[in-house]
Amino acid sequence: MIIDHLEEPLPGSSLRPTPAGSAYTDPAIFAAEQADIFEQLWNCVLRADSISTAGDWKKVTVGREELIIVRTRRAGIRAFYNVCQHRGMRVCTGDEGRARKLQCGYHAWTYALEGELVAAPNLTAMPDVDRREYGLKPVHLREWLGYVWVCLAAQPPDFDTEVLGEVRTRFGEVESIDNYGIEHLLLGETKTYDVAANWKLIIENFMECYHCATIHPELTEVIPEFADGLASQRKNGEVHGSSFGEDIQGFTVDGSAGVAALPAIAPDQDRKYYAITVKPQVFINTVPDHVIVHRMFPVSQSRTIVVCDWLFLPEVIHQSLPIEKSVELFHRVNQQDFEACELTQPSMSSAAYAGGGALVPSEHHIEEFHTWWRERLRGESRVAA
Ligand code: FES
Ligand SMILES: [Fe+2]
């Protein structure tokens, strides 16, 4: 069994073990993660307003599957496997487009935007063909926070419990994430990072701030408590806000003022930064005047695409108010984090890391992620496979 060699945590000591190095390099483990994690859970794939007109479609990859996300005329946004039901050719080629219908380029089977087979050469001579049965295979889809979330599982986990509930509860001392009105914000900037590191290294990095004093000078200037190395956002298992420094005016690269605060945030959300990991592939960061959302798309055991969006109030975007200094802060944080992850990845296959590494007390909460990960890989779907 491929996960036999993974270490169990040893409770009670200052240093607790991480998974073995091979957990970050073994193609068999990555394949299991694709099957048991990314193809079973809800994945946040794109912004709903990036396909704003009926017929707009984009391709995304979830686990090992290529999907088409399309805005229909009658049924909102739908998601389908990008697989022609005739003989399997990719229906959509390229990364995005706008179409009245989705036509396969091989034998011209043609699908409505809602997925149904509507035309094919000689189709009228085949009256027994069920046009729904031979329509594009659909994928479960939800919209939340202005994003499209999809799940490949035949029976997806309940979105309200697994995603909404967890995020709302874990947002901590504040009532919820809802105050930020994220679904009403607009995209100010997006950046895509092609990171030569395993996706778990990126999550582990995001979950701790032990590295902040070393690699994030701009961030620790804005949020001095990060320099303590404590993951101050987590206390008693809850996410708590991290306060801006006294002389800091905004969450910008030089601490200067940002734009106007989001109108509905609570007093204890002002002058604070919150971050939460929505497993398996989303990070949400909120500050008073904008929200930063990361989506991860694992490509291989040693490569992960990360898309980072900076979201602002519509008036900020429409009036072209200055957001550059806000964007620059987290862009630098991203670059610093991903460089660290890329300098870590090669060591994962070193003999010197075969037994794994260590978590200091301020990183112990990462064990929850490791436990979740082990349980997912040992779950029923794997056993059944
Ligand atoms: S494979 Fe698509 S029409 Fe034949
Ligand atoms: Fe970091």
Q: Answer yes or no: is the C-beta of 92 below 6 A from any ligand 1 atom.
A: no
Per-residue pLDDT at 273: 93
Model pLDDT, residue 3: 42
Ligand 1, residue 88: give the atom nearest the CA. Answer: 1
Say if ligand 1 is within 6 A of residue 109 CB: yes
Distance set, CA 263 to CA 241, 251, 314, 339, 374 (Å): 18, 16, 12, 35, 41
pLDDT at site 293? 98
State the pTM of this model.
0.93
Spatial separation of the C-alpha atoms in residues 139 and 154, rounded to whole Å: 8
Question: So what's the pLDDT on residue 239?
Answer: 61
86 lines ligand 1 (CB under 6 A): yes
Residues whose CB is less than 8 angstroms from the CB of residue 78 and which lie 6 or more positions away in sequence, other chains included: 69, 70, 72, 113, 114, 115, 138, 141
* 184-241 pLDDT, tens digit each: 999 999 999 999 999 999 999 999 999 999 999 999 999 999 988 765 455 555 667 8
- Residue ranges of the chain with per-residue pLDDT less than 50: 1-7, 232, 380-385
Ion ligand 2: residues, CB within 5 A, are 337
Ligand 1 atom index nearest CA of 104 = 2
| Amino acid identity for residue 76 in this structure | G
Across 146-161, b (16+ Cβ under 10 Å) vs e yields: bbbbbbbeeebeebee
- Mutation to probe ligand 1, out of 80, 87, 102 (largest number of atoms < 8 A from CB): 87
**Centre of ligand 1 from the C-alpha of residue 85, in Å:** 7
Atom from ligand 1 closest to the CA of residue 120: 3
Question: Which position has the token pair 């509905």?
Answer: 264
Q: Where are the domains of the chain?
A: 16-40+178-384, 43-148
Residue 159, classed as helix, strand or coil, is helix
Cα 208 to ligand 2 centre (Å):
7
CA distances from 226 to 54, 68, 284 (A): 45, 41, 18
- CATH architecture of the domain covering 16-40+178-384: Alpha-Beta Complex (3.90)
Residue 298 bridge partners (DSSP): 304
Pocket test for ligand 1, best of 104, 110, 118 (most atoms within 8 A of CB): 104
Tell me: domain 43-148, CATH 2.102.10.10, correct?
yes
Nearest residue (CA) to ligand 1, atom 3? 107
